[in-house]
A and B are shown apart, each in its own frame.
Chain A
Amino acid sequence: MELLKYIGRRLIQIVIIFFVILTVLFLLFRLAPGDPVSRMVDPDMTPEDAELLISQLGLDQPLGVQYVYYLKNFFTGNFGNSFNYGEPVIKIIWDRLPNTILLFTTAIILSALVGIFLGKIASWHKGEKTDTVMTIGALVTHTVFLPWLGLILIWVFAYKLGWFPITGMLSEDIWMDPDVGLLTKYLDVFHHMVLPLATLFLIHFGSYLLIMRSSMLDTLKEDYILTAKAKGLKEKVIRNHHAAPNAALPVVTSVGLSLAFSINGGALTETVFTWPGIGRELVMSVSQNDYPLAQASFLLIAIVVLLSNLVVDILYAYLDPRIRY
């Protein structure tokens, strides 16, 4: 029950934060130098269509009224048409969102699990060669420049060795062919996903490993570990059942705190691998001055960040019963 109350309180906070972001974005788009009308209305439109759109968006009204229109449009999912695609922005966004979520959540969960696992081993072998190799390896992979890592992986594994496709998310000939089974299609997506996933994974697991390692070292100094040792429990049991679950909590926190960083990385990965996700759409729409699409992608990313923060908080409250906010 308390957990539900906590979730409810966090949800209210998130809604408030989101409203602030929504408002700031509105003000930025209206008050930035240049003509706000040109940012909302496709330059290729006929004058009649442009008139209609201007009255729909309320661009000929005072700022306060425009804001009401803006909120109404937001909640009815009306973001206008993309200048570049000529399609409703909402349709493009819904189309890209699952791709981003697929790549991003797989990468984060995988790297957190591997980071926890390896960090546990590193702390257990503290001061030995295993620990040194793992720590240095984690430092190096964590600080390598992400787009460059992506380019190198493409160069080696897709171009030189030819193991993986260079770009995209699916092969058209497989997906257009009616005779191909669903499993083959999924395997095809997975085949495309290996390199972007590897990039995101390599960048992230290192920091989780380091956090797990130091948190594990702290935990091993606790009295209950000494008790467990004194009881004559096996080292493996102590490590895996007594120390690790508690030591893993800071990793969960860190996943939440580093989400903004991860989202940046996600957008870069999508761009380098031409993975059709929201991040790449944002980058492209900004470079093509496709304002409606840029604005909507940004808002959607903000929602994704806020909701994933909520998920991490709930997970944390669930994992650590001591914490009742």
Chain B
Amino acid sequence: MEKPNKKRLNRFPWVARFLGGWAIYRQNLLGKIGLGLLVIFGLMALCSFIPPLIDPMYQPMIGVDPEISYSTGPCIRHWLGTDFMGRDILSQLLAGARVAFMVGISAAFMSIVFGTAIGMIAGYMGRFIDTLLMRFADMIMVMPTLLVVLIMAALFGQLNIWTIVLIIALFRWPGVSRVIRAQTLSLKQRPFIEAAKVAGASHARIIFRHIMPNVLPLAFLYMTFRVTSAIIIEAALAFLGFGDPSTVSWGMMLQWVWKTGHMFNAPYWLLPPGICISLITLSFYMLGRAMDEVLDPRLRNEEQAG
């Protein structure tokens, strides 16, 4: 049993690395809680397709209960009650999970792509390009992203969800690029880069074939933290009334309960979206911290040294 298994692992070193990481990850309580919560949110996002199939009145955005035209508390037909025009809150909540994942993961992915590329180029090229890119990063870093998106909304009118995602990504890469740059700077001194240079590899080849594989784990670690901030920014934007009007996000639900004056008499409507936003950011945050420990052996030893 043992041998073929090992052989297979040798052929795919990343599988072995992944399993090793997973063994460490499993010991982390916060990491386990975070992952568990994320699985629940993932299930919610999957389930969001079910209610509209049962009855068109469960359409999160356009489905209205024909008998209800005001906000009611939880009942058999609507497990979490309805909003001010008789739309089902539970189906909105499920759809919100889908939007949160979509926004969070796509914005985070784009921002680490930008951040990694810029960080590697800055670190590898050094000198003028490095200074220029890092000053640029400093500048973007101090800009409050939410307010930047607000100004964009003022200028370009109603933003759709993908534009929002893109703007978030464009303003959230500097943190990633700093870390990647630092990592690249230390990698650059290693003999294997020298060797690649001597062998005649081009700059692009060195960056993408030799440096990138070594910085990617770090980049993905940062991705989990970027997911958190992207979800928060989208939710806050929707809460302020500048979200995409064709998507039902949790922030949008909070905006409805706030703007229609139901916040004091409809806890069944006020509580769920807020709890969901808070928990999903918490779980991504915990996931990130746990992965931090997997990827940074220094932290691991510290835990063991106790």
> A residues bordering B, Cβ < 8 Å?
13, 17, 20-21, 25, 28-29, 32-34, 39, 126-127, 136, 139-140, 142-149, 151-152, 154-155, 159, 217, 257, 259-261, 263-264, 267-268, 271-272, 279, 282-283, 285-287, 289, 291, 294-295, 298, 301-302, 305-306, 309
Contact = CB atoms under 8 A, between A and B. Distances in A.
For chain B, which range describes its interface: under 10, 10 to 19, 20 to 34, or 35 or more residues? 35 or more
A187 B25 CA distance: 51
B233 interface: yes
B236 A286 contact: no
A148 B138 CA distance: 31
Contact of B306 (A25, A127, A144, A260): A127
B154 A286 contact: yes
A32 B278 contact: no
Contacts of B141: 257, 260
A140 B282 contact: yes
Nearest to A132: B29
A267 B147 contact: yes
B274 A306 contact: no
B240 interface: yes
A285 B232 CA distance: 22
A306 B142 contact: yes
Nearest to A29: B155
Task: Tell me if B's interface is mostly helix, strand, loop or mixed.
Answer: helix
A140 B280 CA distance: 11
A30 to B, nearest CB: 10
Given A28-B155, A268-B239, A263 B258 contact: no
Contacts of B264: 155, 159
B274 A139 contact: no
B156 A145 contact: no
- From B155, B232, B239, B274, residue with most partner A Cβ within 10 Å: B155
Nearest to B146: A264
Given A145-B281, A287-B241, A291-B154, 15 more contacts: A28-B151, A28-B155, A29-B155, A126-B306, A143-B285, A145-B274, A151-B258, A152-B270, A154-B263, A159-B264, A260-B143, A264-B144, A282-B150, A286-B150, A305-B144
B146 A267 contact: yes
14 contacts: A17-B138, A17-B139, A17-B142, A139-B282, A139-B285, A140-B278, A145-B281, A147-B258, A151-B263, A159-B264, A264-B236, A289-B154, A301-B147, A302-B143
Contacts of B143: 21, 260, 302, 305
B55 interface: no
A257 B143 CA distance: 11
A152 B274 contact: yes
A279 B178 CA distance: 29
Contact of B145 (A28, A149, A264): A264
Contacts of A149: 274
B182 interface: no
Given A151-B254, A283-B150, A260 B144 contact: yes
B68 to A, nearest CB: 24
Interface string B237-279: 0011110000000000010001000011001001001100110
